[in-house]
Structure 1
Amino acid sequence: MLFIKGSVTCDSSNHNPEMSVLELAPKSKQQPRKKSAFREWFDSILFAVVAATIIRWLFFSAFVIPTPSMENSLLVGDYLFVSRMHYGTTTPITPLQVPLTHQTIWGTQIPSYLDWIQLPQFRLPGFTNVKNGDVVVFNLPVEHPDSYQKYSNVLPDLHPHPADLRSNYIKRCVAIAGDKLEIRGGQVFVNGKPMQNPPRLQNEYFVSTTTQVNEENIFHKNGIADYAQFTETFGDSITANDQFGYIVKTTSDIVAKLKTYDFVKRIDPILLDKGLKEPFLFPGAEQLDWNKDNFGPIIIPKEGTTVQLNEINSALYGEVIKNYDGNSDIAFENGRLTQRGKILETYTFKQDYYFMMGDNRHDSADSRYWGFVPKDHIVGKAVFVWMSIDPNPTSFLRKIRWDRIFRIIG
């Protein structure tokens, strides 16, 4: 207060109000400091990374098809957009992660995350629920720390990861929670009715020919990439009188076209006989003689549904109950599920599950081999192909599959 009082005291005879105002006003306006080129680049990159991370998490993600398990609906080299909005995006479980990565840092085997912090997961509201026939991207459940070694014969490169960072798989949902699923002679039945097959569904066939064919003109021209010459008998459907033949994986439409060629004697589907037990098939119970063409019937777990836990159901639903429904105190003992040493007779599921299959039915490691997909592992719905690059083109000009660009996935 003394300083302020003294600062305004002056000689009245020399007082000039205008001079006082000028002296108190700033002499010049301070110019904002210009950003360096490095700072401008850094701010732009930071904004782009943040924006891309939000879009990738909340709206759409881009994926590429690496294997033929969905042919001919989706081909190796298809680039597609997956909508996270349809089923509702999920909040991150593992927040300590390098942005725009999944499991490793680009081009290396260095993990891109730390699992020191694990958050509870929530799903935001979506447009719809998973439906029968949807093409769905999901996190592979069997990369659970307690499951991955069991399935190494089917999927040899499995590694354990947190639930939100498990490998992204794409398959068609053939049965939703509560459905009764059965496969008879290669045909999927849901709740006792045959499921409508996708237009580009691919099966395995034996093509009997009178002579060896020009593979480039016949198979490549018809879009058949997976074929092999076969001159011996194969099961009961191929007789010893066949001199030439080919095993091909293709669609029913292409089969109809091949039948019009004069050198084709006949075409038979290759299917495993009912009762022929296939190794490494889910759930691996000795009492079941299932194979990929004759599977089930089974009931898909549904939230709130109670199931009786006999030996077969314990094998079917044991991993669901123990690993994905969050019951760490449950264990397998002598073919039964126990909780704190007591045998479980019944169980009520805590979330919905789904059964996924590839459209290339004889070349797909899917739910027939590793079981159900939990709802909290669902990533999104495949919407459309925005680019398609042939990994093995017959010429450079055919590297891009122009007819597949902006193809709607159905």
Structure 2
Amino acid sequence: MDLQPILGKFALILFVLMIITGIIWCLDVFVFAKQRRRAADAALAEFDARTNKLTAEGIKVDSTGKRAEIEASHLRQPTWIEYSGSFFPIIAMVFVLRSFLWEPFKIPSSSMVPTLLVGDFILVNKYAYGIRLPIINKKVFDIGDPQRGDVMVFKYPKDMSQDYIKRVIGVPGDTISYENKRLSVNGKPVAYTPMDDYLDDQHPVYHKQFTETLAVDGATRAHQILNTDGKRVFDLGTVENFPHREACDYSYDKFTCIVPEGNYFMMGDNRDNSADSRYWGFVPDKNIVGKAIVVWMNFGNPKRIGGIQ
């Protein structure tokens, strides 16, 4: 798994809890509360009749506070209804925020180093590319499309239960070529600027580091990528037979892919240590979860907090 949702199946758990507490809340408002009111009215009427009878017989009755006590005892919610009613609006708010606005994830692997490190907690914008129904992830309202350079979270095409995070390299219609560890997009070589070597904190290995600049709608977007000396461009033997495989042409040290309509070509920034579209294919639009926008915590390195390029 390339990405870990916070608390795993939290969305499904929240949905079930919201439904259960919501049903209880509705039953209480429209059924149980009315039943308690009728029971309280009947008890008060009985108390008033008894008090009036005793008063008529000349018996002095001290009813101070007794009437309010009887009413309160009959209107009091059972504990299970009281707790459900209290939790329902909180659970519903969290579910809506997490399903339609922002969702937290944790980075468990190094495929996006140096942009994202192991242990980073990130926030994903769920509406950046459209409003999708929770659980089934079906788009119901279009807002925007992924652009080259976006860091995007998506459902792994080979296992929809897993969430992956990579960088968008190719959008529908793009021709993506990769040779000698350098990209070309639509026949134009991508610009690379050498940087100081990058030392992997988890492994005592230096990587070649570059600033990679992608063209996006007449502008440019820059980010850092890593290459590892001694590793091949890609391992041809591990390329799978994925959907639209015919849109790609592979050789020993080069490949070219034309991104099909409704699909995206994704690569990790740690280029020689990332399983991505080079190996398992394109990401369909229906698999998109959202756009990674910020690192909101890394308990081992709080300086990591900030926006994602």
Q: Normalising by structure 2, report the TM-score.
A: 0.62
Equivalent residue, structure 1, for 2:177? 182
Write the deviation string for residues 19-66 of structure 1: whole angstroms up to 9, x where unpaired. xxxx9xx98788452335554333232322222111111111111101
Equivalent residue, structure 1, for 2:206? 248
Match for 1:354: what amino acid?
Answer: Y
Q: 1:123 aligns with which of 121, 128, 140?
A: 140
**2 CA distance for matches of 1:199 and 1:168?**
31
**1 CA distance for matches of 2:286 and 2:260?**
14
Q: 2:129 aligns with which of 69, 72, 87?
A: 87
Q: Percent identity?
A: 30
Question: Which residues of 2 match residues 285-300 of structure 1 at below 5 A?
Answer: 290=251, 294-300=253-259
What displacement does 1:298 show? 1.5
What displacement does 1:226 show? 5.0
CA contact under 8 A between 1:137 and 1:381: conserved in structure 2?
yes
Equivalent residue, structure 2, for 1:195? 190
**2 CA distance for matches of 1:404 and 1:72?**
11
1:402 aligns with 2:302: yes
Superposition misfits of 4+ residues, deviation over 6 angstroms: 26-30
Q: 1:224 aligns with which of 193, 200, 205?
A: 200
Equivalent residue, structure 2, for 1:61? 103
User: Which protein has the bigger strand share?
Assistant: 2
Given the superposition, is the C-alpha separation of residues 64 and 272 from structure 1 closer, same or farther in structure 2, using an over 3 Å criterion?
closer
CA contact under 8 A between 2:192 and 2:210: conserved in structure 1?
no
Given the superposition, is the C-alpha separation of residues 180 and 360 from structure 1 closer, same or farther in structure 2, using an over 3 Å criterion?
same
SS of aligned partner of 1:354: strand
Q: 2:150 aligns with which of 108, 118, 134?
A: 134
**2 CA distance for matches of 1:68 and 1:137?**
15
Match for 2:302: what amino acid?
Answer: W
Write the deviation string for residues 298-329 of structure 1: whole angstroms up to 9, x where unpaired. 11001xxxxxxxxxxxxxxxxxxxxxxxxxxx
CA contact under 8 A between 2:126 and 2:291: conserved in structure 1?
yes
Match for 1:87: what amino acid?
Answer: Y
Write the deviation string for residues 100-130 of structure 1: whole angstroms up to 9, x where unpaired. xxxxxxxxxxxxxxxxxxxx9333232x210
Q: 1:168 aligns with which of 156, 160, 163?
A: 163
CA contact under 8 A between 1:277 and 1:289: conserved in structure 2?
no
Match for 2:259: what amino acid?
Answer: I
SS of aligned partner of 1:356: strand
Count of equivalent residues: 225
**2 CA distance for matches of 1:66 and 1:223?**
18
CA contact under 8 A between 2:193 and 2:210: conserved in structure 1?
no
1:385 aligns with 2:285: no
Match for 1:297: what amino acid?
Answer: T
Please, which runs of 5 or more residues in structure 1 have no aligned partner?
1-22, 95-119, 144-162, 206-221, 229-246, 254-267, 303-351, 391-400
What displacement does 1:89 show? 2.6
User: Which protein has the bigger helix share?
Assistant: 2
What displacement does 1:387 show? 0.4
Q: Normalising by structure 1, report the TM-score.
A: 0.48
